[in-house]
Amino acid sequence: MQTLLPGITMERVPTRRLTTAVLSVAGRTGRPVLFVHGNVSSSLFWQPLMLALPERYRPLAVDLRGFGDTDPEAVDATRGLGDYADDLAALIEALELNSVHLVGWSMGGGVVLQYLTERPAEHAAASVTLVAPVSPFGFGGTYGVDGTLCDPDGAGSGAGGVNPDFVARLAAGDRGADSPTSPRQVLLAHYVKPPFVPDELDIFVESMLSTRTGDDHYPGTSRQAPGWPGFAPGDRGVLNTMAPTHFRIEGLDALDPKPPVLWVRGADDVIVSDTSLYDFGYLGSLGAVPGWPGPDAWPPQPMVAQTRGLLDGYAAAGGRYREVVFADSGHGPHLDQQAQFLAALEPHLAQA
């Protein structure tokens, strides 16, 4: 099927690391706005927003390695999201984007943060927008606003927590709606808030199905662990990049210059939240995973509070951020509340 909306073009850009697929809006030459997608998705999810941006901006959307039409290079999870962050830096360099607005969704928010903190005085960001970003202390297996590990092995995080039927359906190219673990149904139940159905649903399903699967990609490798719930992250693949033993954002307060940050999230997000349906601490508290050690040893991860703590530290060091929460919105507020999202994004870009 045709996956590009009218007005959107795609090119593969050679960089010093790999060849990266980039979407753009034909004819736009203004200040660049670079969109970075999340896990199990691709640049295709950004198309409606790219077309809706005012003419004075040049919207660009990248496919991360192993997604969409970018080279499917292996992912070294021991660097956290470093492979993706370095790829992003290489693309910014190749496109000669000396001042760019960065917008990162979910895992893409973590990519943007790691890009910034590894280049505190060299980044090219004019502004930063974090859309339902992964916690700065990774996904799963931590508690407290400082991201303390529940288990020293990082148990309860990484590739071992994935639903194998979902992975199988991704690998098989399942476009149906007959199972709650089909990509289509996961999108409708978790990416957006039901009963919202995006006009571009079929395109977004194709975007999800562009995810490479396997040990080097999604979900990655896993290993057994003595602590509950019995698995710990491996060192390869997508989900392990966000394990708290591999990924931790520090040094955001050291950025110089400090771009303004807009943090946008949906009030009904079930993926990145303090009550995430993908967090084993929360699932254990619901009785969905047997053997839960209890709230003192393994409370649900306070993902939202952890991000707020990071940004409060950024503000205390002289930066500024704004948090915007949309009612009736899920993990993709740019999808199910596009008009409100644009109303928050446009002044943020203009004031940067």
Per-residue model confidence as pLDDT tens digits over 114-136:
999 999 999 999 999 999 999 99
Say if CB 68 and CB 61 are below 8 A apart: no
List, in order of start, the domains of the chain with CATH numbers. 8-351 (3.40.50.1820)
User: Mean of the pLDDT values across residues 185-193?
Assistant: 98
User: Model-level pTM greater than 0.75?
Assistant: yes
Parallel, antiparallel or unpaired: strands 222-224 and 231-233:
antiparallel
Token readout for 232 is: 């710990």
Per-residue model confidence as pLDDT tens digits over 251-269:
999 999 999 999 999 999 9
Range 341-350 contact pairs with CB under 8 angstroms and sequence separation of 24 or more: 341/49, 341/264, 342/49, 342/52, 342/53, 344/262, 344/264, 345/103, 345/129, 345/262, 345/264, 346/53, 346/54, 348/127, 348/129, 348/260, 348/262, 348/322, 349/31, 349/33, 349/57, 349/101, 349/127
Which pLDDT score, from 0 to 100, does residue 161 have?
95
Predicted confidence band of residue 1 (pLDDT cuts 50, 70, 90): confident
User: Mean of the pLDDT values across residues 325-350?
Assistant: 98
Which pLDDT score, from 0 to 100, does residue 306 have?
98
350 Cβ neighbours under 8 A, 6+ residues apart: none
